[in-house]
Structure 1
Amino acid sequence: MTQDQGALFRTLHRPGDPFIMANAWDAGSAKMLVAMGAKAIATSSAAHAFTLGRPDGGTMTRDEALAHAQDLIAAVPVSVSGDFENGFGHDPDTCAETVRLSAEIGLAGICIEDTALPDQNPYPFEQAVERIRAASAAARALSQDFVLVARADGILTGSYDIDEAIRRIQAFDDAGADGLYVPLPKTVEDLRRIVQATSKPVNALAVGKFAKLSVAEFAETGVARISLGSALARVTHKAILDAGRAMFDQGDLTPLLNVASSSEIDAMLGS
């Protein structure tokens, strides 16, 4: 990998011309996604938690997240970004330290949300902004480029509305965030409002009703990046659920006929 993955990663963020940031959960899934055309890989906190046999939502440590990210960085030649929940601590200094540690292992950027995990309530407005301000200052002090994305998760968690989400991302923008992210606004029109509220690149999440949109339709909203979150990992877990229920409830092994070609997967993993 080249030295400044952050600079390469930044060039992918073009409002109105979004790339798909493919969230992987292990080296194999990362290599397959890149072989199929992914321009960048991200971790997924939920998908990573599943690999550890844990539920999503503040169940892993920073050291675990960093080690997992290192596995993906070593596996692929493209930029890797970290889905790093609340930065693994409540105070601004911890967020700043998380940025520095992330850069040290070669991450091109990270995303920090405003939910006070493991609790589902958001941080108070001023604290949320100070956390991003500290993280941004740490990013700007690095010797390499680093893309810091600030997430306002209150719509996702049901904690606040679109107006508060926009208030927060505008404050995060002013605090130095490189990109903004409001997961799952209620409507596509709300997503457009979010994009119009900032001059910075906006990330959208292709989950639920938003997975019905094409990349071209996302482009029309003005977003710069489309994340998969844990959706692709959940697709694989749906296959396990369907096959397992057929096998253990009905004695039906036929779901095992619907498998990917070994030669095709081997070719991707060997690339």
Structure 2
Amino acid sequence: MEQKLRAEAFAELHRRGDPLVLYNIWDAGSAKAVAAAGAKAIATGSWSVAAAGGYPDGQAVPLLRLAEIARSIVDATDLPVTIDFEGGYAVEPDDVALNVSRIVDAGAVGINFEDQVIGGSGIHPVDLQTRRIRTIRLMAENKGTPFFINARTDLFLQQPDASRHEALVDAAIERGRAYAQAGASGFFVPGLAESGLIGRICDAVPLPVNVMMRAGVPAVAALAKLGVARVSYGPGPYRAMIEWLGRQAATVYGSP
């Protein structure tokens, strides 16, 4: 299936109340395993890709190496592939768009694109992040692909105290609406777990809402009832696989 058709099919999988479930992978081999299990699309997780290559998270994987990984995953499956591209490996909009073009050229149909300041603190101002999204959208249109920009806000991840998340919801909604106007395709709110708050965002933001599974997050069926359109597993699959590998190795080497 050509890239444009895969991109269109991927976008159509995002349905409010019937979420696309993405069990995140990190290389071509894990992509093949998840595809064979019945996945409808393939998604990387930045933490997992970095860890698998011996890198820390936070855009430490060299950009050209990441593009190579993306292409190897695309070549390994007929399913749509979306790449966790963190903060775009740059700050200025034109530089970000140039970097994202490498992922488009690798055959991917979308990215996660976050608003936190990589290597710094806090999150980018709304006006800067919307310019970054708008420039990515223009680049993709010039390439003739309906690229899926899953705009992620790190408001909730940067506040580990879940009791304070309610105070952040209005700011998240403001960002979600602004990102939609700038050309984003989806809105990702990792770190948010409380049902009522997730439902508020689903009702208020005119984009498919993506939630990341973690401790305390409702089950997929419950998220569907809240209006969630996409569910990701983030680094969970990689961590589970490495724990399993360690246990198996321990049986071989007789470790406690």
SS at match of 1:34: helix
Aligned equivalents of 1:2, 1:22: Cα separation in 2: 23
Q: Report what 1:145 is aligned to.
A: 146
Aligned equivalents of 1:158, 1:144: Cα separation in 2: 35
Determine if contact 2:150/2:188 at 8 Å carries over to the other structure: yes
Question: Counterpart of 2:70 in structure 1: which amino acid?
Answer: A
Aligned equivalents of 2:91, 2:26: Cα separation in 1: 25
Question: Counterpart of 1:97 in structure 2: which amino acid?
Answer: L
Q: Report what 1:163 is aligned to.
A: 170
Determine if contact 2:126/2:178 at 8 Å carries over to the other structure: no
| Structure 2: gaps spanning 5 or more residues | none
Q: Does 1:199 align with 2:203?
A: no
Match of 1:180 among 159, 181, 187: 187
Deviations 1:140-174 (A, max 9, x none): 33312211111111210229822222211111111
Deviations 1:63-121 (A, max 9, x none): 12211111110111100001000011111112222332222111111111001112242
| Count of aligned pairs | 249
Summarize the Cα distance change of 1:2–1:209 in structure 2 as closer, same or farther, 3 Å threshold: same
SS at match of 1:209: coil
User: What is the TM-score normalised by the length of structure 1?
Assistant: 0.85
Aligned pairs for 1:77-96 (under 5 A) are 77-96=78-97
Larger Rg: 1
User: What is the TM-score normalised by the length of structure 2?
Assistant: 0.90
Question: Counterpart of 1:81 in structure 2: which amino acid?
Answer: T
Question: Which stretch of the first structure deviates more once superposed, 74-83 or 62-71?
Answer: 62-71
Determine if contact 1:85/1:112 at 8 Å carries over to the other structure: yes
Aligned equivalents of 1:2, 1:54: Cα separation in 2: 32
Match of 2:222 among 212, 217, 221: 217
Determine if contact 1:30/1:75 at 8 Å carries over to the other structure: yes
SS at match of 2:151: strand
Aligned equivalents of 1:124, 1:153: Cα separation in 2: 12
Deviations 1:124-155 (A, max 9, x none): 22212211121122223331221111111121
Aligned pairs for 1:26-175 (under 5 A) are 26-158=27-159, 161-175=168-182
Summarize the Cα distance change of 1:118–1:241 in structure 2 as closer, same or farther, 3 Å threshold: farther
Question: Which stretch of the first structure deviates more once superposed, 106-115 or 123-132?
Answer: 123-132
SS at match of 2:150: strand
Question: Counterpart of 1:2 in structure 2: which amino acid?
Answer: E
Aligned equivalents of 1:95, 1:51: Cα separation in 2: 24
Q: Does 1:235 align with 2:236?
A: no
